[in-house]
Structure 1
Amino acid sequence: MRVDTAALDIGTVRHSTLVDPSGRRYVDFRRSLTPRWGMVWTTLFGGHLALFLSAALMAFLGQVVVAGWPGLSALAVAGGAMIGFCLHYLTTYLHEGAHYNLAPSRRASDAVTNACVGILVGMNVKAYRKVHFDHHRYLGTTRDPERSYFLPLNLRFLVEGITGIRLIRALNGYRKLVKSKSRAGDEAGRGGSLDVVFLLSVAVNASIVACSLWCGAVVLAAAWTLGQLVFLPLLNTVRQVLEHRSEFADDLADYSLVPHGPVNRLFGGGVFAALFGAAGFNRHLLHHWDPSVSFTRLKDVERFLMQTEIAPILRARQTSYFRAWRQLERI
Structure 2
Amino acid sequence: MTPGKAFLSTDEIRPLAERSDLMGFWLVTHCWATIALAVALFAIWPNPLTFVFAVLVIGSRQLGLAILMHEAAHNALFKSRRLNDVVGEWFCGRPILAELMAYRHYHLTHHRFTQTDKDPDLALSSKFPTTRASLKRKFIRDLTGQTGYKQLAAQIMMSIRLAGDGEAVEAASGDFAQAFKARDLFKSLPVFIGIIVLIGAIGDWWWGLAFWLLPYLTWFQFVLRVRNIAEHGATEASENPLQNTRTTMAGPIARLFVAPYWVNYHLEHHLVMHVPCWRLKRMHELLTEKGVTEQMRIAPSYRQALVEAGWKTAEP
Output the TM-score relative to the length of structure 2.
0.74
Q: Which amino acid aligns with 1:101?
A: A
The structural deviation recorded for 1:137 is 2.8
SS at match of 1:32: helix
2:97 alignment partner in structure 1: 122
Report what 1:237 is aligned to. 225
1:244–1:263: 8 Å Cα contact kept in structure 2? yes
Assess if the C-alpha contact under 8 Å between 2:148 and 2:216 holds in 1: no
Q: Is the 8 A contact 1:99 1:292 kept in 2?
A: yes
SS of aligned partner of 2:265: helix
Find the counterpart in structure 2 of residue 97 from structure 1: 72
Sort the Cα spacing of 1:245 and 1:165 in 2 relative to 1 into closer, same or farther, 3 A: same
Using the alignment, how far apart are the partners of 2:290 and 2:5 within structure 1? 12
Larger mean Cα displacement after TM superposition, 95-104 or 30-39: 30-39
Query: Aligned partners of 1:294, 1:115: CA distance in 2, in Å?
Result: 20
Structure 1 residue 189 displacement after superposition: 12
1:31 aligns with 2:21: no
Aligned-pair distance for 1:52? Answer: 0.3
1:279/1:219 Cα in 2 relative to 1: closer, same or farther (>3 Å)? closer
1:283-294 superposed matches below 5 A: 283-294=265-276
Find runs of 4+ consecutive structure 1 residues off by over 6 angstroms.
Answer: 259-262
Which residue is equivalent to 1:140?
115
Residue deviations 1:207-250 (CA, integer Å, cap 9, x gap) = 146536xx5354663243211111112211111112211179xx
Q: Name the CA shift for 1:270/1:133 in 2 (closer, same or farther; >3 Å).
A: same
Q: Distance in 2 between matches of 1:122 and 1:29?
A: 37
Structure number with bigger Rg:
1
Unaligned 5+ residue runs, structure 2? 159-164, 170-179
Query: Measured at CA, do residues 278 and 26 of structure 1 come closer, stay the same or move farther in structure 2, by a change above 3 Å?
Result: farther
Query: How many residue pairs get matched?
Result: 283
One-letter amino acid of the structure 1 residue matched with residue 83 of structure 2? A
In structure 1, the partner of 2:85 is 110
Structural mapping, 1:144-293, within 5 Å: 144-146=119-121, 147-149=123-125, 150=127, 152=130, 154-170=135-151, 172=154, 176-177=165-166, 191=183, 195-196=186-187, 198-208=188-198, 210-211=200-201, 215-216=203-204, 218=206, 221-246=209-234, 263-268=244-249, 270-275=251-256, 276-293=258-275
Q: Deviation per CA, 1:31-89: give whole Å up to 9, x if none.
A: 23312443333233112111001112233444xx5xxxxxx5x7644432232122222
Who is 1:69 aligned against? Answer: none
1:132, distance to aligned residue in structure 2 (A): 1.6
CA distance in 2, matches of 1:205, 1:16: 43
Q: 1:318 to 1:35 in 2, by over 3 A?
A: farther
For 1:27, the aligned partner's letter is T
Which gives a bigger RCO, structure 1 or 2 (Cα 8 Å, sep 6+)?
1
Residue type at the aligned position of 1:35: R
Question: Where does the alignment leave 5 or more consecutive residues of structure 1 unmatched?
Answer: 1-11, 19-24, 66-71, 181-187, 249-258
Q: 1:271 to 1:190 in 2, by over 3 A?
A: closer
CA deviations 1:163-214 (Å, max 9, x no partner) are 334335556389633999xxxxxxx99956x642x133233234146536xx
SS at match of 1:133: helix
Q: TM-score, normalised by structure 1?
A: 0.71
1:303 to 270, 285, 302: 285
Sort the Cα spacing of 1:87 and 1:260 in 2 relative to 1 into closer, same or farther, 3 A.
same
Which deviates the most, 134-143 or 93-102? Answer: 134-143
Equivalent position amino acid for 1:125 in 2: L
Residue 68 of structure 1 is matched in structure 2 by none
Contact 2:38/2:53 (8 A) holds in 1: no
Contact preservation (8 Å) 2:41, 2:50: no
Amino acid of the structure 2 residue aligned with 1:288: H
Identity in percent: 23
Matched, 1:86 2:61: yes
